Amino acid sequence: MSRPARSPLLRLLVLCATLLLAGCAGTLFAGLNATNQHKGIEQQRDIVFDRDHRLALDVYAPAHAQHAPVLVFFYGGDWARGERAWYRFVGTALAAEGVVVVIPDYRKVPQVSMTGFMQDAANAVAWARTHAGEFGGAPGDVFVMGHSAGGQIAALLATDPAWLGAHGMRPTDLAGFIGVAGCYDFVPVADDETEMLMAFGRTPDEQRRAQPISFVRGTEPPMLLLHGLDDREVGVANSQSLYRAVLLRHGEATLTLYPGVGHESLLFALARPTRGAIHTLDDIVAFVRAHPGHAGD
């Protein structure tokens, strides 16, 4: 399914992408967060969920929420950079639509490889499920979502049972997975992809352990795969391949493609979710509402 995108918002998002490429991440995200002001949202930041590794998370919740869906968001950054505080606009945009949002940090390369950051991600999801009720969320209604490298992390949680299994959970315990321009089908990794090689190893056998498409069995939670057709960083073939693999095994997946939209713009649209422009927020919220988990758990 494709949606048209209007030029004024696209021009703003292209500017944002230019700032990011220029290395002005702090300025860029400060601007994105400044444009995304919502009332009726409760924010709790710097909650430590892993004292051993000094990892914390932020929670954005609708005021007076009760049994609301919970979404754990993993940001991108080539598995090597990024900060949860940059993505406040994601938390506030979704919380304004009735979703409790958890944004954790995770360890990054070169300090750790895939095992380290995947353990952190699974730990964060288990924490969110255990503590959901404290923020008005439903423990049985937990989604995972990620952008770019974060999409690979979230998708692997939803496909490879080993990671959540360490916490007594299964991928089927998730209400759904939302991938925003994620990396799902990338073996073999090119020789110039330094961060990916540090994260996933240099041999195809090592790399397949990190590739979500390797683990699709058709029993995964429902998937929503969003991708811009003008993405020059993570090719749209990643989402198309995962979508086809899930359908081939009779699983549930929805693929939404956005003409004229690039890699960062697809996520940055959450900072200014103008109706009639790029419908990232609308599509995510519609998916969450259409796939309620066991809200009474």
Encode pLDDT of 62-74 as tens digits: 999 999 999 999 9
Encode pLDDT of 86-114 as tens digits: 999 999 999 999 999 999 999 999 999 99
Q: Scanning the structure block, which residue is given the tokens 């940001």?
A: 75
Encode pLDDT of 199-249 as tens digits: 999 999 999 999 999 999 999 999 999 999 999 999 999 999 999 999 999
Which pLDDT belongs to residue 36? Answer: 62
pLDDT band of residue 38 (cuts 50, 70, 90) is confident
Range scoring the smallest mean pLDDT among 8-12, 38-42, 119-123, 215-219: 8-12
* Residue spans per domain, the chain: 7-290
Burial of 39 (0-12, 13-18, 19+ CB in 10 A): exposed
pLDDT band of residue 22 (cuts 50, 70, 90) is very low
Percent of the chain at pLDDT exceeding 70 = 86
Which pLDDT belongs to residue 39? Answer: 77
Which pLDDT belongs to residue 240? Answer: 98
Q: What is the CATH number of domain 7-290?
A: 3.40.50.1820
Average pLDDT of 28-57? Answer: 86
Query: Within 10 A of 21 (CB to CB), how many other CB atoms are there?
Result: 12
